C-alpha cells in the first residue's frame, strides 16, 4: 500500500500498520491534516482543524507506544468530533454563530473514552444548527458538500461534516449523534458506515442536547469493523449521564466474524417502502438476496409498528418538547436561531404536557411490543433513506421544499429511535447519478453485536464500500 492511499484505508488496516511499526501516529496525523486542509475549503466538512494541537497529541501517542504503553487497536488513530460534542479548550458552537465563545473546560465522556483508548483528536466537524435537520443544511456556517456530488449535494444531517469528512478520506472516524437519524442519514447519503447504538449504551455527557429521551452518540467510519472497535471503546455506564445506568457491557468483537449463516433477517415492508425510489428498492432487494446467499434466513416483515410509532409521535412531538426545554435552560433569550429551528422550538413550547406524556407512553409501549414482535428475528433491513442525495439548491429552494426533504430523509430512520432500537447504515449500491444508497440494519435494544455481525458479513461479500468519491 502506497502511503498516498492511507486516507482510503479503514481503521483496522491503519492500526495493523501502526502496530507492526511501518506507520507512525505522527506521519498518519500529518497525512490526514494535509488532506483535510487541502479539501476543506471545498467541502466545508471541518469546523476546526487545530494542526499543532493535533500533532502534539500524535507525538505523545507515538512516544507512549514506543515506551510499551499500547492502549489497544485504536492507538494512534486520528478522529474528529461533531461540533455539538465538547472538547476541552475548543469552542462547541453547535452549528450556531451565537455560540462562538462557548469554550468548555472538560471533554465530553465519549472524547475522554476515545483518548483513553489511544485515539488522537484531529478536529471538530460542522453540523446542522443545534443538530436539528435531516438534509444537513446550515444556513449560518455553511452546508458541508457531499463528496459524491458533481454539484453541491446535501450530505445529510445533522452529522453532516462528520460523514463528509470520512467519505472524502479526511479522517478515519468522526463522532456523530443521532436523535432521528442524524448518524445514519448522512452515512447513507455520503456512503460511509454509521452506527447508532441503543440509547443508554453510550454517554451523552458533554453533548449539547436535543432530546434526552432519544439522543445517542456513535461513530461514522469507512468499515464495519472500525465502527465496532470504536463502539467497544465508547459504551458503558457513566455517572455523568444517568440514562446510562442500565448500560450493559457488550462484546461486539466476539461474534463479529461469525458471518450471516443462520441469521434470521426480516426484510421490512409497509411504511418503510412507501414512495421509495425504484433504484433504492432494487438495491435493498439485492442486499436481501446477498444475505440469503450467505446463509441467512430472510423473510418479508410487515412491521405495522413503524406506522404506529409515527402516529404516536406526530410532528416529532417528543424531541420538539425536549429541545425547547433544553434551549430554555441553556440559552435564555437567545436570538441567533435559524428560522426553521425557531419554528420547531416554538412548536415544542406550545405542546401541552398531557400530549407530550401521551406520546412518551405510547412510544414506550410500542417499543416493548416491537421487541416481542421481533422475538424470532435477529435483525431487519430497510433502506436508510427512500431517496439518495439531492442538490442543495433543490432541497433548500424554499421552506416548503426543505420541510419535504427533511421529512423524507428522516422517515425510515426516526422509527428506530422511537422504538428504542440500534441500527447501522452501510452502502449497498449507487444510483444512476453515482450517489450512494444506504442499507439500514436494525437490531433489538442492546443487540449491537448482531447488527455489526450482519453488516460485516454483507460488507465482506460486496464491494460497494471499496469505492471512493473523486474529490
Catalytic residues: 82, 158, 182
Task: Give domain status of residue 5, yes or no.
Answer: no
Nine-digit cell string for 172:
478515519
Rounded to 10 degrees, the C-alpha dihedral 333/336/340/344 comes to: -20
CATH number at residue 107: 3.90.1300.10
Cβ pair 94, 130 in contact under 8 A: yes
Cell 507492526 locates to: 20
Task: Give domain status of residue 3, yes or no.
Answer: no
Task: Give domain status of residue 1, yes or no.
Answer: no
- Quick check: helix, strand or coil at residue 315? helix
> What pLDDT, in 10s, does the model give residues 228-255?
999 999 999 999 999 999 888 999 999 9
Span of 173-177, 263-267, 340-344, 349-353 with lowest mean pLDDT: 340-344
- Quick check: helix, strand or coil at residue 263? coil
Q: Which pTM value belongs to this model?
A: 0.98
Task: Give domain status of residue 394, yes or no.
Answer: yes
Confidence of residue 334 (pLDDT cuts 50, 70, 90): confident
pLDDT of amino acid 397: 97
Task: Give domain status of residue 109, yes or no.
Answer: yes
pLDDT of amino acid 340: 82
pLDDT of amino acid 271: 98
Rounded CA-CA distance 191/172 in Å is 14
Confidence of residue 336 (pLDDT cuts 50, 70, 90): confident
pLDDT at 1 over 70: no
pLDDT of amino acid 12: 98
- What is the C-alpha end-to-end distance of the chain, expressed in Å? 20
pLDDT at 2 over 70: no
CA proximity to 156, closest of 427, 422, 380, 343:
427
Task: Give domain status of residue 4, yes or no.
Answer: no
pLDDT of amino acid 413: 98
Rounded CA-CA distance 335/276 in Å is 38
pLDDT at 339 over 90: no
pLDDT at 21 over 70: yes
CA proximity to 192, closest of 166, 216, 218:
166
SS3 letters across 265-298: EEEECHHHHCCCCHHHHHHHHHHHHHHHHCCCEE
| Domains of the chain: total | 1
Task: Give domain status of residue 433, yes or no.
Answer: yes
> What pLDDT, in 10s, does the model give residues 96-151?
999 999 999 999 999 999 999 999 999 999 999 999 999 999 999 999 999 999 99
What range defines the domain where residue 308 resides? 13-466
Confidence of residue 335 (pLDDT cuts 50, 70, 90): confident
Task: Give domain status of residue 349, yes or no.
Answer: yes
Amino acid at each position: 500500500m502506497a502511503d498516498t492511499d492511507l486516507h482510503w484505508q479503514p481503521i483496522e488496516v491503519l492500526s495493523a500498520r501502526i502496530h507492526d511499526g511501518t506507520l507512525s501516529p505522527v506521519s498518519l496525523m500529518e497525512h490526514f491534516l494535509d488532506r483535510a486542509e487541502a479539501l476543506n475549503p471545498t467541502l466545508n466538512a471541518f469546523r476546526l482543524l487545530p494542526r499543532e494541537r493535533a500533532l502534539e497529541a500524535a507525538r505523545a501517542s507515538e512516544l507512549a507506544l514506543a515506551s510499551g504503553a499500547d492502549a489497544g487497536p485504536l492507538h494512534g488513530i486520528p478522529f474528529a468530533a461533531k461540533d455539538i460534542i465538547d472538547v476541552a479548550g475548543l469552542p462547541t458552537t453547535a452549528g450556531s454563530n451565537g455560540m462562538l465563545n462557548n469554550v468548555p473546560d472538560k471533554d465530553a465522556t465519549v472524547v475522554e473514552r476515545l483518548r483513553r483508548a489511544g485515539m488522537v483528536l484531529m478536529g471538530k466537524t460542522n453540523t446542522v444548527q443545534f443538530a436539528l435537520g435531516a438534509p444537513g443544511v446550515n444556513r449560518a456556517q455553511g452546508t458541508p458538500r457531499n463528496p459524491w456530488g458533481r454539484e453541491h449535494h446535501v450530505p445529510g444531517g445533522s452529522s453532516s461534516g462528520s460523514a463528509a469528512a470520512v467519505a472524502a478520506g479526511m479522517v478515519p472516524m468522526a463522532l456523530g449523534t443521532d436523535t432521528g437519524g442524524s448518524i445514519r442519514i448522512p452515512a447513507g447519503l455520503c456512503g460511509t458506515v454509521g452506527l447508532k447504538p441503543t440509547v443508554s449504551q453510550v454517554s451523552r455527557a458533554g453533548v449539547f442536547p436535543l432530546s434526552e429521551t432519544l439522543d445517542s452518540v456513535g461513530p461514522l467510519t469507512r468499515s464495519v469493523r472500525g465502527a465496532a472497535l470504536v463502539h467497544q471503546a465508547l459504551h458503558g455506564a457513566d455517572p455523568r449521564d444517568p440514562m446510562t445506568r442500565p448500560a450493559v457491557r457488550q462484546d461486539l468483537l466476539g461474534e463479529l466474524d461469525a458471518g450471516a449463516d443462520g441469521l434470521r433477517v426480516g426484510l421490512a415492508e409497509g411504511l418503510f417502502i412507501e414512495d421509495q425510489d425504484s433504484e433504492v428498492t432494487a438495491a435493498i432487494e439485492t442486499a436481501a438476496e446477498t444475505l440469503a446467499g450467505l446463509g441467512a434466513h430472510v423473510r418479508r416483515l410487515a412491521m405495522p409498528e413503524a406506522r404506529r410509532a409515527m402516529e404516536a409521535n406526530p410532528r416529532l412531538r417528543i424531541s420538539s418538547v425536549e429541545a425547547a426545554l433544553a434551549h430554555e435552560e441553556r440559552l435564555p433569550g437567545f436570538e441567533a436561531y435559524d428560522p426553521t429551528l425557531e419554528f420547531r422550538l416554538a412548536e415544542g413550547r406550545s405542546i401541552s404536557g398531557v400530549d407530550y406524556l401521551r406520546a412518551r407512553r405510547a412510544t414506550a409501549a410500542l417499543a416493548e411490543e416491537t421487541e416481542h414482535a421481533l422475538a424470532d428475528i435477529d435483525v431487519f433491513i430497510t433502506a436508510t433513506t427512500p431517496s439518495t442525495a439531492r442538490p442543495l439548491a433543490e432541497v433548500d429552494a424554499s421552506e416548503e421544499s426543505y420541510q419535504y426533504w427533511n421529512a423524507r430523509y428522516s422517515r425510515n430512520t426516526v422509527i428506530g429511535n422511537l422504538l428504542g432500537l440500534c441500527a447501522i447504515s452501510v452502502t449497498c449500491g449507487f444510483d444512476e447519478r453515482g450517489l450512494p444508497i444506504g442499507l439500514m440494519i436494525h437490531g433489538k435494544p442492546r443487540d449491537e453485536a448482531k447488527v455489526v455481525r450482519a453488516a460485516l458479513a454483507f460488507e465482506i461479500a460486496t464491494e460497494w464500500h471499496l469505492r471512493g468519491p473523486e474529490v
